[in-house]
């Protein structure tokens, strides 16, 4: 079962981060966010920090899955889990890139 | 360990057949739990639904063939197009691939049946009863009429009075129980029920795809089940989840629906991709190129598809950044799709392809699906989608993806596995004619409809105006549509005739390398006479004598000395033999349970609440009978599994199959709960008329009861488990656990006392959260009582402690959701 976790963890972390950042954007742009004194500048800063943390976690997973402690004993699982971790990193960078390229709350 | 002389293949068959066969006569249909019988009935049911959905499509095309058509009025037309979409998505596409999987998977994996045979039977009967109810509603003129995605406020009681919408909400929720049951069965089967040596890198590629798809079903369906249930609560009790004037928001439905709806597209596509990945290498007389990459692509597609749901909501006014997130993922998802297509092209390149009929359908799939994929990338672009949204361009795109990407490969699969399903190989040659009729008809219909969409023709219009410029396109599309229908009818006729009267064929007529071709055809009730040991992805290429060795009983469990249904369970990763799984015998309980469960869902349509509660009590009693029959009252120790190996039975391992099934059922359950918390946060953040007029104050006793109850419940069951393993008295732990669960329920009850269920969306949401927690505390309490009875009856011992582990899972889950749910409910009251 640990091998199934190795294969599924990086992309599961991506979907959690993706949903989290989308939810955070909803809070930043909502009347409740404005009511709590969250300005657009602070809002974007929060989103960028969340994006950077998500990328850092994915990089950590790539390194983690290479260590003897967490790597699978099966070479095939080791290779496929590493590819999936790279996919998750690319997905994190690409899908959340709009936090630095797109207008907020328009 | 016994060393019995080996039986010959015929003697072994004669020994196994009486153990595994169905009951004789009509009774056998109702009591069967055999995968071949259930899968066969499932396929026939799903094909019947395909024909009904096709007839409805022809009615739609007849209506739109000429301007200002009086063929049917808008009321009837609304029911027709709603039922066409509903039938094709819920009653044909998903059940059909599940049926194929139920039939093929045991043979492919080299095992004797799927993990939970009674659950498979239950899934089938739920499907049959649910789909029959929908068809009866159609014939009675009360079919759903709000479109297959049933958006509120159109589907609210104000704009859709009557029972049409209720039939959809409750009927589809009921049918989704079938899909989830089958998904649990498929996941556990692929992970634990395989040939020895079939490690993860040697799984047949179809099994990988189905593992991924089954997990997707478990995680995608619950948001929609939740949405359906709360929309029904709004319609029945005026709980205003989607009413803006009371703090609700109709966009919540769209989020919940598309959280299901977009992964659904991939849930339908991935099994078809699995079929292509199985057939293509055989047709090209080679092996699949890039097996690891294809697995990677399937997993990536599955997860990425959960980040796409908002691309169905680009026109709802969501801020640009939110749209950009989903547009980015919509482009990204094309990459793993492309990886698969290049792997298939590479496979053709390295092999020597032969153009048999299955291959013809796969070529049709390639052309059509790639075109559908390209228009998919077009609608993934926000500015284009703003123009094309809700037009016939989208209708044409989705038919390219669903018919080209699903129906064509499935037809290829049916022709390819026809010998396995029927024991016969195609003799009559209508198939080629049917293929070309379908191709011409399909592209003639839907290529043209892209054009109609670009010219502004909106989907779901019941008639077209004269002079609109859409008349000729629609006339040609309707003529092509009838050609398409004739083509599909010929396919069904061709398959039926060949399956019944064509000549019988030898085993493995395609010279394939996977294990489903190692059994006699059609597959016997026990599928494999013994469980083989394999060492590659294509065991029949390595060892052409393997079918004979299996039939002679030279694998595991090749001597049925215990006269019961047994198979081998292996470790997840390396597929090392771990225990002997003992299957249940034929039983009427799955059928009875499906009938009574259907009453739970259908009684509320007519507001017969007393009947719903009576049926729920009936389901509880039947579920207890179901579980009571499993297990053993004595320790059996290590038993001979063949090939010199001794193993325990599933009753004597700490984590039996039931524990695994529970784990994945709770995965689905947790997604439903997560969707509920998402809905609560969404309404709080986005919906108008918030904050609510009054915030619930947590008080003192509610939190104390919940925290104390959680500690007692979780600690108590662990105490009981330890006592069972040490052969001590477990009553103290069980009592503590029961008291703790009562405390949890009481803690949740304080929410009911502090709010009014229909005052505001806030109150309504808290009622659902508290109801969810109360239900799970009650369910876990019932399980503790059941476990106590099992201990008294002698089913539990230090070796047979699996039941206690299952109950522990449920209790831990109840405690977890109580902590999260009640915490979320009380949090605003704690904040200053």
- Chosen from B290, B328, B659 to mutate, greatest number of chain A CBs within 10 A: B328
Segments of chain B scoring below 50 in pLDDT = 1-3, 5
pLDDT above 90 covers what percent of chain A? 68
Q: What are the tens digits of pLDDT across the range B229-261? A: 999 999 999 999 999 999 999 999 999 999 999
Output the DSSP codes for B639-691.
EEEETTEEE-BGGGSSS-HHHHHHHHHHHHHHHHHHHHHHHHHHHHHHSSS-S
pLDDT tens digits in sequence order for chain A, 106 residues long: 889 999 999 999 999 999 999 999 998 988 877 777 778 888 999 999 999 999 999 999 999 999 988 888 899 999 999 999 999 999 999 999 999 999 888 8
Query: Long-range contacts of range B697-703, CB-CB < 8 Å, 24 or more positions apart?
Result: B697/B754, B697/B829, B698/B826, B698/B829, B698/B830, B699/B750, B699/B754, B701/B747, B701/B750, B702/B747, B702/B750, B702/B751, B702/B822, B702/B826, B703/B747, B703/B822, B703/B826
**Cis, bond preceding B153 (omega within 30 deg of 0):** yes
Q: Which of B692, B702, B691 is nearest to B823 (CA)?
A: B702
The vertex-A62 CA angle with B267 and A74, nearest 5°, equals 75
Q: List phi, psi (to 5°) of B646.
A: -115, 135
SS3 B531: strand
Q: Which residues of B touch A3 (CB under 8 A)?
A: 200, 572-573
Query: Long-range contacts of range B561-564, CB-CB < 8 Å, 24 or more positions apart?
Result: B561/B2, B561/B4, B561/B640, B562/B639, B563/B19, B564/B19
SS3 B391: strand
Asked whether B778 and B784 are in contact (CB, 8 A), the reply is no
Q: Which of A55, A26, A28, A23 is nearest to A41 (CA)?
A: A28
Query: CA-CA distances (angstroms) from residue B711 to A8, B218, B673, B750?
Result: 31, 29, 21, 19
Residue B123: Cβ within 10 Å count = 29
- Residue A3 and residue B573: Cβ atoms within 8 Å? yes
How near does any CA of chain B get to the CA of A12, in Å?
Answer: 7
The vertex-B274 CA angle with B268 and B277, nearest 5°, equals 145
Distance of alpha carbon B511 from alpha carbon B816, whole angstroms: 52
Asked whether B526 and B20 are in contact (CB, 8 A), the reply is yes
Residues 6+ apart with CB under 8 A from B112: B20, B106, B526, B527, B528, B531, B565, B566, B567, B583
pLDDT at position B8, please?
A: 84
Q: What are the tens digits of pLDDT across the range B658-714? A: 999 999 999 999 999 999 999 999 999 989 888 899 999 999 999 999 999 999 999
State the sign of the Cα–Cα–Cα–Cα dihedral A64, A70, A75, A78: negative
- Residue B325 and residue A95: Cβ atoms within 8 Å? yes
pLDDT at position B3, please?
A: 45
pLDDT at position B6, please?
A: 53
Q: Which of B126, B122, B127 is nearest to B47 (CA)?
A: B127
- B531 forms beta bridges with B556
Residues 6+ apart with CB under 8 A from A84: A7, A10, A11, B296, B299, B300
Give the nearest partner residue to B329 out of A2, A33, A95, using CB atoms: A95
Asked whether B591 and B121 are in contact (CB, 8 A), the reply is yes
Distance of alpha carbon B64 from alpha carbon B71, whole angstroms: 9
Residue with tokens 């079962």: A1
- Mean pLDDT score of chain B: 94
Distance of alpha carbon B178 from alpha carbon B128, whole angstroms: 9
Residues of chain A whose beta carbon is less than 8 angstroms from a beta carbon of chain B are 1-4, 7-8, 11-12, 14-15, 18-19, 21-23, 25-27, 29-30, 32-33, 72, 74, 76-77, 79-80, 83-84, 87, 90-91, 94-99, 101-106
Structure tokens at B212: 């991924």
Q: Write the burial class of residue B828 (CB in 10 Å: 0-12 exposed, 13-18 middle, 19+ buried).
A: middle
Asked whether B616 and B604 are in contact (CB, 8 A), the reply is no
State the sign of the Cα–Cα–Cα–Cα dihedral B497, B502, B506, B508: negative
Query: Where do the structural domains in chain B lie, given as residue ranges?
Result: 654-830
Q: What are the tens digits of pLDDT across the range B735-767? A: 999 999 999 999 999 999 999 999 999 999 999
pLDDT at position A30, please?
A: 86
- Residue A8 and residue B684: Cβ atoms within 8 Å? no
Q: Which of B634, B518, B645, B498 is nearest to B580 (CA)?
A: B645
**Cis, bond preceding B351 (omega within 30 deg of 0):** no
The CATH number that domain B654-830 falls under is 1.20.120.80
Q: Which residues of B touch A96 (CB under 8 A)?
A: 325, 328
Structure tokens at B411: 């037809």
What ipTM was estimated for this complex? Answer: 0.96
Q: Which of B178, B3, B5, B156 is nearest to B90 (CA)?
A: B178
Give the nearest partner residue to B300 out of A27, A87, A106, using CB atoms: A87
Q: Which residues of B touch A95 (CB under 8 A)?
A: 307, 325, 328-329, 332
- Residue A103 and residue B321: Cβ atoms within 8 Å? yes
Asked whether B144 and B79 are in contact (CB, 8 A), the reply is yes
pLDDT at position B2, please?
A: 42
Distance of alpha carbon B451 from alpha carbon B470, whole angstroms: 9
What b/e string do you get for B484-518 counting C-beta neighbours within 10 Å, with b at 16 or more? bbebbebbbebbeebbeebeebeebebebbbbbbb
Query: CA-CA distances (angstroms) from residue B568 to A56, B531, B532, B639, B658?
Result: 43, 7, 10, 12, 15
pTM: predicted TM-score of the whole model, two decimal places: 0.95
Residue with tokens 């395989």: B194
Q: Which of B567, B709, B527 is nearest to B194 (CA)?
A: B567
Reported residue count of chain B is: 832
Round to the nearest angstrom and report the end-to-end CA distance of chain B: 71
Query: CA-CA distances (angstroms) from residue B437 to B53, B93, B441?
Result: 19, 21, 6
Q: For the CA atoms of chain A, what is the radius of gyration?
A: 17
């Amino acid at each position: 079962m640990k091998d199934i976790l190795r294969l599924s963890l990086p992309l599961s972390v991506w979907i959690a981060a993706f949903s989290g950042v989308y939810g955070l954007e909803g809070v930043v742009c909502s009347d409740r966010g404005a009511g709590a004194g969250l300005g657009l500048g602070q809002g974007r800063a929060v989103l960028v920090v969340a994006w950077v943390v998500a990328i850092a976690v994915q990089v950590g997973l790539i390194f983690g899955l290479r260590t003897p402690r967490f790597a699978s004993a099966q070479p095939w699982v080791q290779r496929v889990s590493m590819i999936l971790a790279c996919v998750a990193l690319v997905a994190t960078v690409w899908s959340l890139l709009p936090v630095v390229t797109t207008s907020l709350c328009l | 360990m016994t060393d019995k002389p080996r039986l010959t293949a015929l003697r072994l068959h004669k020994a196994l057949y009486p153990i595994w066969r169905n009951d004789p006569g009509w009774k056998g249909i109702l009591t069967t739990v055999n995968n071949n019988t259930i899968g066969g009935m499932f396929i026939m049911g799903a094909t019947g639904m395909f024909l009904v959905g096709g007839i409805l499509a022809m009615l739609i095309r007849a209506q739109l063939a000429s301007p200002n058509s009086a063929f049917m009025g808008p009321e009837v037309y609304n029911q027709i197009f709603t039922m066409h979409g509903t039938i094709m998505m819920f009653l044909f596409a998903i059940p059909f691939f599940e049926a194929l999987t139920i039939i093929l998977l045991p043979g492919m994996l080299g095992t004797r049946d799927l993990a939970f045979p009674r659950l498979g039977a239950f899934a089938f009967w739920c499907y049959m009863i649910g789909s029959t109810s929908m068809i009866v509603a159609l014939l009675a003129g009360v079919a759903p009429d709000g479109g297959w995605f049933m958006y509120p406020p159109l589907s609210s009681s104000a704009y859709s009075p009557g029972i049409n919408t209720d039939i959809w909400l409750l009927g589809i929720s009921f049918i989704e129980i079938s899909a989830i049951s089958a998904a649990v069965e498929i996941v556990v089967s692929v992970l634990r029920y395989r040939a020895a040596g079939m490690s993860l890198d040697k799984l047949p590629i179809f099994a990988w795809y189905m593992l991924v798809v089954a997990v997707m079903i478990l995680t995608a369906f619950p948001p929609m089940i939740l949405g359906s249930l709360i929309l029904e609560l709004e319609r029945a009790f005026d709980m205003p989840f989607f009413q803006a004037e009371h703090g609700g928001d109709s966009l919540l439905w769209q989020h919940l629906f598309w959280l299901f709806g977009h992964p659904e597209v991939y849930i339908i596509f991935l099994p078809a991709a699995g079929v292509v990945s199985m057939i293509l290498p055989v047709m090209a007389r080679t092996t699949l190129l890039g097996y690891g990459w294809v697995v990677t692509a399937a997993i990536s597609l599955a997860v990425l598809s959960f980040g796409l749901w908002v691309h169905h909501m680009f026109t709802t006014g969501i801020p640009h950044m939110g749209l950009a997130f989903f547009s980015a993922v919509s482009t990204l998802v094309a990459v793993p799709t492309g990886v698969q297509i290049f792997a298939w092209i590479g496979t053709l390149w390295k092999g020597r392809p032969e153009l048999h009929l299955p291959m013809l359908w796969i070529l049709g799939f390639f052309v059509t699906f790639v075109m559908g994929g390209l228009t998919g990338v077009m609608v993934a672009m926000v500015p284009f989608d703003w123009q094309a949204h809700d037009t016939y361009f989208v209708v044409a795109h989705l038919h390219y993806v669903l018919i080209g990407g699903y129906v064509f490969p499935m037809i290829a699969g049916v022709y390819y596995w026809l010998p396995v399903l029927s024991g016969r190989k195609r003799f009559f040659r209508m198939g080629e004619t049917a293929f070309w009729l379908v191709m011409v008809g399909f592209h003639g219909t839907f290529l043209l409809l892209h054009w109609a969409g670009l010219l502004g023709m909106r989907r779901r219009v019941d008639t077209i105006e004269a002079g609109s410029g859409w008349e000729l396109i629609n006339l040609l599309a309707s003529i092509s549509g009838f050609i398409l229908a004739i083509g599909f009818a010929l396919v069904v006729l061709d398959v039926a005739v060949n399956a019944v009267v064509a000549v019988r064929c030898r085993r493995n007529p395609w010279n394939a390398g996977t294990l489903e071709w190692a059994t006699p055809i059609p597959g016997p009730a026990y599928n494999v006479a013994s469980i083989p040991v394999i060492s590659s992805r294509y065991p029949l290429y390595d060892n052409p004598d393997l079918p004979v060795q299996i039939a002679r009983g030279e694998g595991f469990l090749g001597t049925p000395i215990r006269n019961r249904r047994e198979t081998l369970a292996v470790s997840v990763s390396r597929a090392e033999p771990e225990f002997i799984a003992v299957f249940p015998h034929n039983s009427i309980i799955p059928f009875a349970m499906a009938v009574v469960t259907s009453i739970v869902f259908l009684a509320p349509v007519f507001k017969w609440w007393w009947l719903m509660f009576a049926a729920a009590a009936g389901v509880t009693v039947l579920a207890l009978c179901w579980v009571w029959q499993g297990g053993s009252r004595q320790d059996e120790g290590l038993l001979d599994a063949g090939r010199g190996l001794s193993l325990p039975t599933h009753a004597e391992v700490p984590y039996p199959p039931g524990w695994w099934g529970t784990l994945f059922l709770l995965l689905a359950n947790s997604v439903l709960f997560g969707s509920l918390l998402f809905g609560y946060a969404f309404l709080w953040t986005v919906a108008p008329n918030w904050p609510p007029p009054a915030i619930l104050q947590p008080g003192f006793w509610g939190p104390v009861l919940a925290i104390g109850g959680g500690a007692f419940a979780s600690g108590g069951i662990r105490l009981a488990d330890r006592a069972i393993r040490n052969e001590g008295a477990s009553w103290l732990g069980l009592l503590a656990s029961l008291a703790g669960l009562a405390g949890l329920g009481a803690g949740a009850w304080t929410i009911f006392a502090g709010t009014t269920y229909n005052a505001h969306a806030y109150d309504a949401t808290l009622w659902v959260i508290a109801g969810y927690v109360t239900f799970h505390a009650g369910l876990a309490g019932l399980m503790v009582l059941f476990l106590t009875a099992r201990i008294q009856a002698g089913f539990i011992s230090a070796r047979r402690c699996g039941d206690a582990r299952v109950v522990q899972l449920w209790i831990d889950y109840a405690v977890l959701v109580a902590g999260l749910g009640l915490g979320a409910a009380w949090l605003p009251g704690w904040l200053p």
